[in-house]
Amino acid sequence: MMPSTVVPVVDVSPLVGGVGSPTAAAAEIDRACRAHGFFYVTGHGVDPELVERLAAASRGFFAQDEAAKARYAMAQGGRAWRGYFPAGGELTSGRPDWKEGLYFGAELPAEHPLVRARTPLHGPNLFPPGLRGDVLGYLAAMTSLGHALMEGIALGLGLAPGYFALRYTADPLVLFRIFNYPSRPAPPDRDVLWGVGEHSDYGLLTILWQDDVGGLQVKTPGGWVDAGPLAGSFVCNIGDMLDRMTGGLYLSTPHRVALNTSGRDRLSMPFFFDPGFEAKVAPIEGIERSARGPERWDGSDVHAFEGTYGDYLLAKVSKVFPELRREVL
Average of pLDDT values for 38-50? 97
Is the per-residue pLDDT at 297 higher than 80? no
pLDDT at 294: 55
Predicted TM-score (pTM) of this structure: 0.93
Looking at per-residue pLDDT, the higher value among 36 and 157 belongs to: 157
* Per-residue pLDDT at 159 exceeds 50: yes
What backbone torsions phi and psi does residue 182 show, to the nearest 5 degrees?
Answer: -65, 140
Say what the alpha-carbon torsion angle 40, 43, 44, 50 is, to the nearest 10 degrees.
110
Residue 191 has pLDDT above 50, yes or no: no
Task: Name residue 255's amino acid.
Answer: H
Q: What is the pLDDT of residue 93?
A: 65
Instruction: Give the whole-angstrom CA distance, residue 68 versus residue 160.
Output: 49
Name the band, by pLDDT with cuts 50, 70 and 90, for residue 218: very high
Pairing of strands 9-11, 38-42: parallel
To the nearest 10°, report the CA torsion of 60, 201, 38, 150. -100
**Higher pLDDT residue, 137 or 4?**
137
Taking 90 as the threshold, does the pLDDT of residue 282 lie above it?
yes
**Most confident of the ranges 71-75, 114-118, 143-147:** 143-147
Is the pLDDT confidence value at 116 over 60?
A: yes
The yes-or-no verdict on residue 13 having pLDDT over 80 is yes
Q: What is the 3-state secondary structure of 3-17?
A: CCCCCCEEECHHHHH
DSSP code at position 167: I
* pLDDT for the residue numbered 301: 82
Average pLDDT, the chain: 90
Strand runs (DSSP E) across 99-233, as ranges? 100-105, 173-181, 196-199, 205-210, 216-220, 223-226
Most confident listed range (10-14, 72-76, 225-229): 10-14
Closest-CA residue to 173 (of 119, 227, 234, 246): 119
**pLDDT at residue 328, as a whole number:** 59
Q: For position 325, what pLDDT does the model report? A: 60
Phi and psi based region of residue 247 (left: phi greater than 0; alpha: psi -120 to 50; beta: remaining): left
Sorting pLDDT into bands at 50, 70 and 90, what band is 291? low
Q: Is pLDDT above 90 for 220?
A: no
Distance CA 141, CA 25 (A): 20
Q: How many helices (H) and strands (E) does the chain have?
A: 9, 14
Burial (Cβ within 10 Å: 0-12, 13-18, ≥19) of residue 136: middle
